[in-house]
Amino acid sequence: MEPVPQTIDTLLINCRLAPMADNKLCPIENAAVAISNGKVAWAGQTQNLSDNAAQILKQDPKQTIDCQNGWVLPGFVDCHTHLVWAGSRSNEFEMRLNGVTYEEISKQGGGIFSTVKATRKATRKELFESASKRIKSLLNTGVTTFEIKSGYGLDLDTELKMLEVIDQLNTAFPIHIEATFLGAHTLPPEFKNNLDGYIDLITKTMLPEVKNQSIATAVDAFCERIAFSRDQTQKVFETAKDLGFNIKLHAEQLSDSDGAALAAQMRALSCDHLEYLSRYGAQQMAKHNTVAVLLPGAFYFLKESKKPPVQTLRDLNIPIAVSTDLNPGSSPIHSMPLILNMACMLFNLTCEEALLGATINGAKALGLDKQKGSIETGKDADLVVWDIDLPADLCYLSGLSPVDLLMVGGKITLNHLNCHQ
């Protein structure tokens, strides 16, 4: 029997619960959730209680919240974002609508390099303020854990500046942020004909300094014919692993570069995008329990046609996560429910798969599934009370974000429940 906590800080009553445990939605009617010291002390049905649960519910909690029959789900884990950037690319959006190709935009100094230029020039304060707006927007759609990547600096100072801003955001907001170093995002203009020179800069200078400052937990790379080769990615990963970082990879987005198999064999937490994932790549991911992170926002915004092999992922029992990929170039989407809708409509995920993808499997993609992603005894009390009829509404009612209450580590961040009374 679990020990009974001394005090219950918060008791959520009169709710319906989708705890997302055991990789299922597991809906529970007539439920309650007890929270103690920022963790879930107990969650379940309030009828036919076990002795342990009865003892917990018998205590006098510091506060009781009536959820008015709302649905309680784990807070969303947005496991792949690039939400710290400067500058705007809306002019490029309009150019594209007028028929200008990405290549032409790139030649005119647009594309990712315009973001790199603006991010290099921006102050920490400017980066912090623009990223804050994006975080608030995602928080309002139920996200409680974020992953944010660097990768718009491509030089030591700006990469560190981005990671420092990510650290400041983690302190300033009542959320959890995992920072990922993505120096190997694209080749900076000053290394135009010296790809290996840039890989050397990453492995010999940037990675040791990022480690030294302890401001990132993972290292990511973009393995693609327009970015870094399999061998160059391997070099970055070898150094990253030697330094004790987790690794993850932008893999097989625009072509099959055999990145997923490499990343899986090197025990990456996740491979992300995966539109061109081969059978072999998928088998390697299954063998090494690598999470597949699907990013339907980028697929949609780039008007891609090749879909990731979802049925193969299912057949091989590969955990599927879903994320916004929030970034200025290929996925300027600031809403997790909208991304869930896209995952269902564009990639044929079921609502249950999409919701698992944005909770427990998102947590797995960050190596946080022991603490986050489901509502279970001992896990962090990161949860959202939703004013919906069924969990599937979060995938179906596109654009609506009916958050009644949002809690991170037992602390209430948003509370609209009183508005109903």
- Give 10: exposed, middle or buried? Use CB within 10 Å, 0-12, 13-18, 19+: buried
CB 82, CB 119: distance < 8 Å: no
Cα–Cα distance for residue pair 304/127, rounded to 1 Å: 30
Q: How far is the CB of 226 from Zn ion (least distance, A)?
A: 14
- Give 156: exposed, middle or buried? Use CB within 10 Å, 0-12, 13-18, 19+: middle
Closer by beta carbon to Zn ion, 39 or else 248: 248
Please tell me whether residue 63 adopts helix, strand or coil conformation: strand
DSSP-based helix, strand, coil % in the chain, nearest 5? 40, 25, 40
Q: Of all residues in this chain, which one has the CB nearest to Zn ion in the complex?
A: 325
The residue type of 131 is: A
399 phi and psi angles, rounded to 5 deg: 90, -20
Cα–Cα distance for residue pair 360/343, rounded to 1 Å: 16
Q: How far is the CB of 259 from Zn ion (least distance, A)?
A: 13
Please tell me whether residue 407 adopts helix, strand or coil conformation: strand
Closer by beta carbon to Zn ion, 325 or else 369: 325
Closer by beta carbon to Zn ion, 275 or else 325: 325
Interface with Zn ion (CB under 5 A): 325
Closer by beta carbon to Zn ion, 40 or else 83: 83
Question: Hey, what are 159's tokens?
Answer: 């990469």
Q: How far is the CB of 39 from Zn ion (least distance, A)?
A: 31
Closer by beta carbon to Zn ion, 159 or else 325: 325
Closer by beta carbon to Zn ion, 119 or else 374: 119
CB 152, CB 185: distance < 8 Å: yes
Q: How far is the CB of 82 from Zn ion (least distance, A)?
A: 6
Q: How far is the CB of 33 from Zn ion (least distance, A)?
A: 33
Closer by beta carbon to Zn ion, 172 or else 226: 226
**Pairing of the two strands 143-149 and 76-81:** parallel
The residue type of 111 is: G
Q: How far is the CB of 151 from Zn ion (least distance, A)?
A: 8
Q: How far is the CB of 378 from Zn ion (least distance, A)?
A: 32
Cα–Cα distance for residue pair 206/356, rounded to 1 Å: 35
